[in-house]
Amino acid sequence: MTESGLTDQRRIVTALLDARRYPHPARTVKLVETHVSWVLLAGRYAYKIKKAVHPGFLDFTTLAARLYYCNEEIRLNCRTASSIYLDVVPIGGGFDDPAVGSLPAMEYAVRMKRFPSGNTLDRLAARGKLLPVHLDLLAAKIASFHENLPPAGIDSGYGTGMLEIARASFSELRKFLDDDFSKLEKLACDEYAACADCFAERLKQGFVRECHGDLHLGNIALVRGSPTPFDCIEFDPKLRWIDVMNEMAFPVMDLLFHGCPGLACRFLNAYLERTGDYGGMKGFRFHLSCRAVVRAMVDAMRGNGSSCRKHLALATEILSKRSPFLIITHGLPGSGKTTWSQAALERLGAIRIRSDVERKRLAGLQSGERSHSGIASGIYSPDASRATYSRLLDLAREVLSSGFPVIVDAAFLSAGERRRFRNLAQNLSLPFAIASLKAPRSSLEERILERKNDASEADLAVLDALEASSEPLQPEEWDRVVLFSCMRDEKTWERLEQGLGLK
């Protein structure tokens, strides 16, 4: 089929609107058309036929190319959506009398299992049905997916060409809108310049991998209760061989766009806690803004000016707004530090770093893995604890220097450790607060005994030991202390926010 084959393809698609042409029951057939494909929804299945087009960013003009990219679509999407993507089926017969599954093939289609269209995460978000558990599950799935991908070759050049993508998007936008994008484009170029060395280093470190490439909320569906990414980019390797944090930026940006900043921060933190990739935050602001600009370009091409301008406003806010601060927690095991910090990160838009998780990461353990260490021994020895707090300090410095606020979730029962973190904030000229959590002894014991699958291994003996050795808050610290005895006390939250300069 040549470039003029679109006419013959349309004949095939029109004929396939007849439900009797499928080798399985189908009462009706619904057609969904995009600029590069037709999708026929027939019974339990969907058949995706690639158009014989060459719009510049892909070339599907030959039957051999369409077969190749159909197979690529199956290969790539089965990594995350094997329950949806089934196989490539030939379509034989004649243009006006096609037969699905027949040879010799005059066309090919990707065959998929259908799922309710209302189950994509963008539609769930629009209905207020997107839940925290969905984002927790998605973060774990994407983290596992990324961890199992091989890195790109150092000489590949992948993962370093995002500025060209942003500039091309601005050029396209000018074809559709008369708006002045010069300020936003300069912000994007300046942000890229500040991160260029980081992007190159990330490629060397193996963080550029063959990702999904198009992970917006509309390409993630809830399938049997599990968030399932589908419809990844098969036609251009440069768009999927990207930094893993570039991939993460798309769903985070989309959650912000849909008015879900708390869920966006929850999702990002869950991923970072699993992977430990806090170094990726240096370029994350650029990735976020670039994703918003590209999405604005797509909106403009589709004639959706309102959504386009909303994405551009979001990109401007991402690049313009920087309000880092540092909060450390303070309290005995069972006082509610992690519960509080989870609420705080969602409310304040911060990156949380947990001592219980980083302590185990240093020891090569998963967060839920037991170390079987005794009191003041193993991973809880004085040396291990010093190493843990040093790691927390280094990570906090790295994230704060990238322009993001940080919450360090640790006991901080030593005045010396608290001082180190206060000094860090002072050296960076950033607001600092100590969120001190108190609870009755009976509540501490009850919470410790009820813990399941928690990164903390503290038991009642550890509680006794830490209570005896803890150093009280010093007089010079009280100007930065906010006491939380009830997490639902709005006045206490407001006092914290005022102290951080957020109100």
Range(s) for CATH 3.90.1200.10 in the chain?
121-320
Domain 326-499 has CATH 3.40.190.10: no
Record the pTM.
Answer: 0.95
Does the pLDDT value for residue 261 go beyond 80? Answer: yes
For residue 332 the two structure tokens come to: 């005995």
Asked if residues 311 and 166 have their Cβ atoms less than 8 Å apart, the reply is: no
**Out of 3.90.1200.10, 3.40.50.10320, 3.30.450.20, 3.50.50.60, which CATH number does the structure's domain 121-320 have?**
3.90.1200.10
Range(s) for CATH 3.30.200 in the chain?
3-114
Element (H, E) at 85: strand 85-94
User: What pLDDT is attached to residue 376?
Assistant: 85
Does the pLDDT value for residue 410 go beyond 60? Answer: yes
User: What pLDDT is attached to residue 1?
Assistant: 40
User: What pLDDT is attached to residue 408?
Assistant: 98
Question: Mean pLDDT for the chain?
Answer: 95
Residue type, 164: E
What integer is the mean pLDDT of 403-419? Answer: 97
**What are the tens digits of pLDDT across the range 448-499?**
999 888 889 889 999 999 999 999 999 999 999 999 987 888 999 999 999 9
Overall residue count recorded for the chain in this entry = 503
Range(s) for CATH 3.40.50.300 in the chain?
326-499
If one compares 70 and 372, the residue with the highest pLDDT of the two is 70
Give the percent of the chain with pLDDT over 70.
Answer: 99
Secondary structure of residue 87 in the 3-state scheme: strand
What integer is the mean pLDDT of 230-246? Answer: 97
User: What pLDDT is attached to residue 296?
Assistant: 97
Helices marked H in 323-407 — which ranges?
Answer: 337-348, 355-362, 382-401
Query: How does residue 165 score in pLDDT terms, banded at 50, 70 and 90?
Result: very high
Asked if residues 268 and 329 have their Cβ atoms less than 8 Å apart, the reply is: no
User: What pLDDT is attached to residue 2?
Assistant: 46
Secondary structure of residue 2 in the 3-state scheme: coil
The distance in angstroms from the start CA to the end CA of the chain is 64
Give the CATH number of domain 3-114: 3.30.200
User: What pLDDT is attached to residue 210?
Assistant: 98
User: What pLDDT is attached to residue 4?
Assistant: 60
Distance CA 94, CA 63 (A): 15
What integer is the mean pLDDT of 132-145? Answer: 98
Distance CA 198, CA 279 (A): 9
DSSP string, 208-268: EEE--S---GGGEEEETTEEEE-----S-HHHHEEEHHHHHHHHHHHHHHTT-HHHHHHHH
User: Which distant-in-sequence residues (6+ apart) come within 8 Å of 150 by Cβ?
Assistant: 209, 210
Secondary structure of residue 500 in the 3-state scheme: coil
Calculate the CA 326 to chain-centre distance: 23
